[in-house]
A and B are shown apart, each in its own frame.
Chain A
Amino acid sequence: MMIRVEDVSLSYDGVRDAVSALGFSVAPGSIFALVGPNGAGKTSTLRMLATLQLPSRGTIRIDGIDVARDAEGARRRVGYLPDNFALYDQMTPVDYLDFFGRCYEVDDTTRKKRIDALLDEFDLGQKRGATIRSLSRGMRQRLGVAKTLMHGPKVLLLDEPASALDPGARMKLRDALLRLKARGLAIIISSHILPDLAGLADAVGIMEGGRMIRTGALDGIAGDDARITYVIEVRANADKAARVLNEFGPRLHARRETGPGRFEVELDGGPDTVAALVEALVLRGARVAHVAPRESAIEAVYRKSAATEVA
């Protein structure tokens, strides 16, 4: 495992743990989504991983290095992008990357090559001579991610990287993260915007009040017991469709008719159950026009976990 967090707790005031008994691990070439509401302890967790904060208890290992014992070694392996990060507005993207490259002791030749490569990869080549002040929010975010890669880290820690980005910028960022994942980086993304993480994260850790209430591979969690709400639209024979839904069996947990020929159903069992339901609808003469999940798997897992926590 590239990142191993074992029984980590953090308290700022001795009364309440900002992070309590946290444990998870992240493999190389995978994306771990840290989700939870504001104040759940996501940023504190990332700050501990980035060596900005020492845990009160427990150990954090990055590439086998204990961050409490060898912070410098850990920093050479980690790229960290904080939430609401700042850039040096008066600099150009080239100067900015060059400065951090120097701080990470990247030699001159590699630095120049890497700056060019990163600017191209993050679609900033056209803006290499412009001041950072003139860049759009999406460009600044991509430049921030590019900065975290200047020293060739093995681990990437991104705190709310997509917040305040427009849909186009989010898609570009998402593509970039998938490329980095394919290159073998272990990536942790914290977010409270769950749709951003759908289709991106391999594993998820759900935090609430400083505790990890659920963690594991997304497929496993979603496939095991997560109920996903689907929207089904039927063009004709809506009454037949309603009968099918009533008779579908135990894998359908709830259904609502939200309009003429429009149903929302809560299913478990994953794609196989959806296929079986659509097949049953078609066989009974319902003309199915549209089937889509109303929420992603990660949202479903989060909703269920949060509901369990409240109960």
Chain B
Amino acid sequence: MSMRVAISAFAHRGARRGAAATFLVYSAVLTGALLLLAAWIAPEARLSDLEQLRMWGQMNPPYHPTLDPSLWTTLALGDVLALWVLALGGFVLAPAMVAAAVANERRAGTLDQLRTTPLSPLALAAGMLVGVPARLYLLLAGPLALHVLAAVAGPLPLSALVSSLAVLAAGTVASATLGLCVALAPRQESGGAFAALGVAALLGVFSLTTCGFASDRHMVAWSFLHPAGALDAVMLAPQGLWRRMIVGPWGGHFDSAGYQLALPLVPIASVVASLTFAAILLRAACRKLAAPQLPLFGKRQAVALFAFATAVVLGPLVANDHLGEFDSNGAYAFSVLLLPALVAVGLFATPTFEAWALALRSGGRTRWTSDDAPAHRAVWLMLALWAVVVFVMLGDHRMHGFGGDELIALCWATLLAVTLPVYFLFASTRYATVAARWAFGVAVAAHVIAQMVAIGIVRGNDARGFAATYVTLAGIAGVFVPAWTAWRQHALKVRTLAR
């Protein structure tokens, strides 16, 4: 009841009478424009393919590529364009709208007014996820109808329709929930436009990357990491116009058994991953809406999210024949890949100065799962989880992977990883302004990158001449910087307790 009320309230917010009908008309116009564009391009493209076939047929010896000019129909091309619009709307614009709206509510102070209504945090979140972009969803109704029509009356197989709709729905929910969390996470009430642009840019880049994965035989298993990649995989599976447009006449790898097997699994993995991701983020958003003073993630949520990130990044490796290639190089590469996830969940599970000080002064021992506790143990738990996964996966590679220098590099990398939560707590409790926290964050990032370069030199057994000096200095910094930060943190603790 409460969720329906919230969705209705947000969807009707500021809407003129008949706004829904107006947006449906706009949607019909948009669909008509897509069909017109398709009707203009398709005959030209068909002729072009016919001409290419004729030219290749005249070659000596004649070349017969898998090119079917009859794929270029107005409905098929209209469907492709409609899907692009649906993906853009659901995966980029909807989350950007949610992020902008929520960030603006925070900045203006109207979010507090909403929190005094009887709407539950879940209802508020539902209102923001569904109600705020309601007019965008209405605008997408026409392209959606065109996509369905392409399956009913056109060339698209019914299974592809079902898969694509599932990926679109789950992906939109996950993307919009990410937008909600991005807007709620910062301690300061950030600018709505920046939050929206950041979300849109991040999702846009990620979607293009995973789309590239979908048409690559070696990377297809990772294409589910963003729903756009999964949608690409869904549409590449049948022999149709989408495949013709994405891979052209050179689609030899579609005959590969592994690729054929992976493509239908991608949408399933995408839906499961999107819904799991959305569920964890939605829970975090509800927590933040109920109690804005808390960090975005509880400690258990942070660990669960990191475990999820580990599973989705490494899962495809386990599932396909790349597992044999996971040696210590792979372990380092994936560690670097998961580092941003670790930093993000660790930072957003770290308490504010007030909460930390309150817990400190209460004198009692806080549990590691407490919102007021530093994120040290949660981050170390994540690192331990990652270490276990790495050691299990290294399997037979373990023994020959560890030379003397490599063992030093591993210890150094472990030390670096273990010190990360020291910086999270210091950034969160020592600096009150965004600018100061960013400055500290940049300094720590530079330190971590410098350390990683030094670790790489040691691991490659290249520490000679200038590189040796660099490694020595980095080694000193590797001990001095976290020690200095920990000492400053201790001083802050003493000062806080003395006040």
Measured CB to CB, the residues of A under 8 A from B are 11-15, 50-52, 72, 75-76, 78, 80, 82, 84-88, 90-91, 95, 98-100, 102-105, 147
Contacts and interface: CB of A to CB of B under 8 A. Distances in A.
Given A80-B116, A91-B14, A99 B360 contact: no
Nearest to A104: B117
Nearest to B353: A13
B392 interface: no
B14 A95 contact: yes
B499 interface: yes
Contact of A15 (B2, B6, B14, B499): B499
Given A91-B14, A105-B5, A105-B118, A82 B112 contact: yes
19 contacts: A11-B358, A12-B358, A14-B360, A15-B357, A52-B112, A72-B118, A76-B118, A85-B109, A86-B109, A91-B13, A95-B14, A95-B15, A99-B13, A100-B117, A102-B5, A102-B9, A102-B12, A103-B117, A103-B119
B118 A99 contact: no
B398 interface: no
Which of A12, A14, A72, A76: most chain B CB closer than 10 A?
A14
B464 interface: no
Contacts of B354: 12-13
Nearest to B115: A52
Interface residues of B, number: 30
Given A88-B13, A105-B5, A15 B361 contact: yes
A86 B6 contact: no
A86 B106 CA distance: 10
A87 B112 CA distance: 12
Nearest to B362: A14
Given A11-B358, A51-B116, A103 B499 contact: no
A103 B358 contact: no
Contacts, number: 75
B358 A78 contact: no
A98 B358 CA distance: 41
B113 interface: yes
A84 B109 contact: yes
Nearest to A82: B112
Given A14-B360, A104-B118, A82 B14 contact: no
Given A75-B116, A75-B118, A103-B5, A82 B361 contact: no
Interface in B324-373: 354, 357-362
B114 interface: yes
A52 B116 contact: yes
Going nearest first, the 4 A-B pairs with the smallest beta carbon separation are A14-B361, A102-B9, A86-B108, A14-B358
Nearest to A86: B108
Contacts of A12: 354, 358
B22 interface: no
A67 to B, nearest CB: 11
A102 B361 CA distance: 43
A72 B122 CA distance: 13
A11 B358 CA distance: 8
A292 B13 CA distance: 51
Contacts of B13: 88, 91, 95, 99
